[in-house]
Amino acid sequence: MSKNSAKEHDTELLAAVAAGSRRALEELYLGYHRRLARFLSRFTPRYENVEEIINDTFMIVWQSAKDFRYASQVSTWIIGIAYRTALKSLRRQKNHSAARSLDDLPEQTIDPTGDTEVQDWLMHGLNQLPMEQRLTLELAYHMGHSLEEIAAITECPVGTVKARMFHAREKLRMYLPSLSGAGSESTAGGG
């Protein structure tokens, strides 16, 4: 299915959901589940939490479909709901469990050379970011959204998204010094 026909199909499905079709909701759910699950599983390792956020998202989709005014794409609207639901849920989790902090990590830095250990370190680096910055980076790099789409999803001005992206990249660079460029010449292009 091309990108345009996928958008049209989503629009048709949402109109059917607004008219009370459970079948349309089911199709929409199955169409978005993989994308949302892979995105959300980067923030919470427990599938129960991922499922809860996805199901909360689709409860809101079910209840609010009739209020959707088609000012944005259906996908942007659904991912926006998931974003806000995830943000609430993750903040709640953070209050209930020990939040990861720099103190939990070894006091050393790493030169990324491209293996699974490095992936783990990048993950640790991402975990250090404030939630909004982390989500911005994930929406851009993991989900492939544009600056304007992220602004719509997060309901923020474009300038705020730019600032979050800037700070996220800067913090990652400080956490993984090889990303800073200080050692780029010695790492043959930085890997």
Partner 1 sequence: MKIVPGTGSPVHPDISALIPWYVNGSIGERDRRRVDAHLAQCAHCRDELTREQWVYRSMNADTAVEYMPAVSLNRLQARLDAADGSESADVGEAAEAAAKPRRRSMPWQGLMAASVAVMAVALSLLAADRWLQYRARAAAPPDYHTVTISETRATDEAIRAVFSPTTTLSELQSILDEAQLRIVSGPTEAGVYSLAVKSRRPVGSSLALLRSHAQVRFAESTTSAPIEPLATP
> Given the rule CB under 8 A, which residues bind partner 1?
22-23, 25-26, 29-30, 33-34, 37-38, 41, 47, 51, 54-55, 58-59, 62, 112, 114, 118-119, 122, 126, 137-138, 140-142, 144-147, 149, 162, 165-166, 169-170, 172-173, 178-182, 184, 189-191
Q: Which is nearer to partner 1, 90 or 150 (CB)?
A: 150
* Of 98 and 140, CB closest to partner 1: 140
Question: What's the CA gap between 153 and 116, in Å, rounded?
Answer: 31
Count Cβ atoms within 10 A of the Cβ of residue 84 and give its class: 0-12 exposed, 13-18 middle, 19 or more buried: middle
Query: Shortest CA distance to 70 belongs to which of 148, 134, 28, 7?
Result: 7
CB atoms within 10 A of CB 26: 13
Q: How far is the CB of 58 from partner 1 (least distance, A)?
A: 6
Q: Is the dihedral of CA 46, 51, 53, 56 positive or negative?
A: negative
> From the CB of 132, what's the least distance to partner 1, in Å?
15
Q: Smallest distance, Å, CB 140 to partner 1?
A: 5
| Residue nearer to partner 1 on the CB measure, 2 or 95 | 2
- Determine the Cα–Cα distance for residues 94 and 180; give it in Å rounded to an integer: 29
In this complex, which beta carbon is closest to partner 1, that of residue 80 or of residue 112? 112
Closest among 163, 94, 170 to 125, alpha carbons compared: 170
Nearer to partner 1, 58 or 83 (CB): 58
Minimum separation from the CB atom of position 103 to partner 1 (A): 24
